[in-house]
Structure 1
Amino acid sequence: MNQLTVLVADDDPNVCEIIRLFFTENNYRVVEANSGSEAIKLYESSNPDVILLDIMMPDMDGYEVCRQIRKKTDVPIIMLSAKGEEIDRILGLEIGADDYVTKPFSPREIIARIKAIFRRVPVKTGNEGANGNDIHDFKDFSIHVKSRQVLVNDEKLFLRPKEFDLLLYLVQNSNAVLTREQLLEHVWGFDFGGDIRTVDVHIKRIRSEFAKYDIHCIHTVWGVGYQFKD
């Protein structure tokens, strides 16, 4: 993997120092912000590949920073917080975060989370779209694998990277009922240590985008998981 730029937004200088030292040793470029407003300015000037975002910061909390950045980009965001309640993790995921790490944490764990986020779902052979394994055509929309786009009436559906990966894996296994554990394993990877509810949050966002066009293709199989049916 080429050198990645990581934006660390945390008002605790000790946390920033630990992350900077460990990440620099592992060939990451690190830029630091100590407040919410500074994080937004640094995002615009440094163009980071991933953001580590503390929730409790002066002048603007991490949730609001995440909301504002999500209006501009789908750059991966990992929330950092001393809060460990499920509602806090779900809220972070609901507003667009890709992952959530509770303090205290190991910098090695965060690097593993980053690698999991950037891992892409392999395209299976034998279950391809109409044009090899590049396009999956359906009645109301099409999935373009190489360009990572979903088109509805020539309009591009807004999906974040992991949402696209999740939809693609469901499509590659059309009509099969997949458990949350299976989806976590194949889309997020074996070393993903996040909450299993991550799947539910991403499914909800995909459905929300499709619902704008009255498309309902991802079905819940209660007590089991999810199923894609055109």
Structure 2
Amino acid sequence: MIEILMIEDDPEFSLFLGEYLEKYNIKITNYEDPYLGLSAGISNYDLLILDLTLPGMDGLDVCKEISSKYDIPIIISSARSDVSDKIMGLQIGADYYLPKPYDPKEMYAVIQSLLRRSKKINKEEDANSDFIFDKTKHKIFFKKEELILTQAEYEVMIVLLENKNAIVSREQIVNASTSLSDSYSKSLNVIIGRLRSKLEDSSKNPKHLHSIRGLGYKLSQ
């Protein structure tokens, strides 16, 4: 099932769209509050549908925040007709701007297009990598073998994979993982240790999962 995060302050509209997309094995989880949406474990979703007129925070700020931290396709769905909003949204990370009102068939077509493009890019990037992941099937492969992971391990690995070769802070990992709640907790240390074991990595001389003192962690291929 395709998992879509929606940040939309009109619950009737999100319900209507969700009921339509459900026919195509697409599940929408909507948050009316943008702050709750930002802490909803974004890396667990395949795509984001984002309204611009939101309570307490402008949708463009939400778009900028998410696109700077996560590799997720973003569709802006808004009744705001100012062309400057469209231009700004696309410049700061949105992949598509779909003005309201629209036929849900059009939204479905856009979703399919973006997910096809995203999968193609992931395949190209992973061609020479030891890691392959498929979020739609909730699976991660290492050297062509599927990793057997707990939910928490999977969430941490997805964050690291989506930011491969970049340093990811403990706070980023915790905020993107529904199974973790405290960046200062030793539970993240335990998870990192278990992941190293499953990757046959040494903590003293790691090949893949590196601890960057005072900054966080980095996953390299």
Paired with 1:76 and 1:9, the residues of 2 have a C-alpha distance of 14
Question: 1:156, CA displacement in angstroms?
Answer: 6.7
| 2:72 pairs with 1:91 | no
CA–CA separation in structure 1 for the residues paired with 2:68 and 2:13: 27
For residues 13-43 of structure 1, the C-alpha deviation after alignment (integer angstroms, 9 at most, x for no partner) is 1211111111112211221100210111224
Mapping for residues 60-209 of structure 1, pairs under 5 Å:
60-120=57-117, 146=127
Q: Quick check: 1:39–1:65 contact (8 Å CA) kept in 2?
A: no
Residue by residue, what CA displacement relative to the aligned partner does 1:60-87 show, whole Å, maximum 9, x if unpaired?
1211111111222110000011112321
The amino acid across from 2:11 in the alignment is: P
Distance 1:104 1:144 in 2: 36
CA distance, structure 2, for counterparts of residue 59 and residue 144 of structure 1: 37
Number of equivalent positions: 130
**In 2 relative to 1, CA 147–62 (structure 1 residues): closer, same or farther, beyond 3 Å?**
farther
RMSD, matched Cα? 2.9
Q: CA deviation at 1:51?
A: 0.5
TM-score (norm 2): 0.52
Separation in 2, partners of 1:34, 1:76: 19
1:109-163 residue CA offsets vs partner (Å, 9 max, x unmatched):
1110011112249x9xxxxxxxxxx9xxxxxxxx968359xxxxxx979xxxxxx
Which residue identity does 1:5 align to in structure 2?
E
Q: Give the aligned partner of residue 54 of structure 1.
A: 51
Q: Which runs of 5+ in 1 are unaligned?
A: 124-133, 135-142, 149-154, 158-230
Please point out which of 6, 9, 12 is paired with 1:8: 6
Find the counterpart in structure 1 of residue 30 from structure 2.
32
Aligned counterparts of 1:67 and 1:116: Cα–Cα separation in 2: 22
Unaligned runs of 5+ in 2: 130-163, 167-221
Change (3 A) 1:105 1:146: same
Pick from 12, 16, 21 the counterpart of residue 19 of structure 2. Answer: 21
Match of 2:5, as an amino acid?
L
Q: Aligned pair in 2 of structure 1 residues 147, 64: CA closer, same or farther (>3 Å)?
A: farther
What TM-score, normalized by structure 1, do the two folds share? 0.50
SS in 1 for 2:40: helix
Amino-acid identity (%): 32
Is the CA contact (8 Å cut-off) linking 1:36 and 1:60 kept in structure 2?
yes
Query: What letter is aligned with 2:87?
Result: I
Question: Which protein, 1 or 2, shows the higher relative CO under an 8 Å CA cutoff with sep ≥ 6?
Answer: 2
Distance 1:59 1:27, change over 3 A: same
Contact 1:78 1:97 in 2 (8 A): yes
Q: CA deviation at 1:57?
A: 0.3
TM superposition outliers: structure 1 runs of 4+ over 6 Å: none
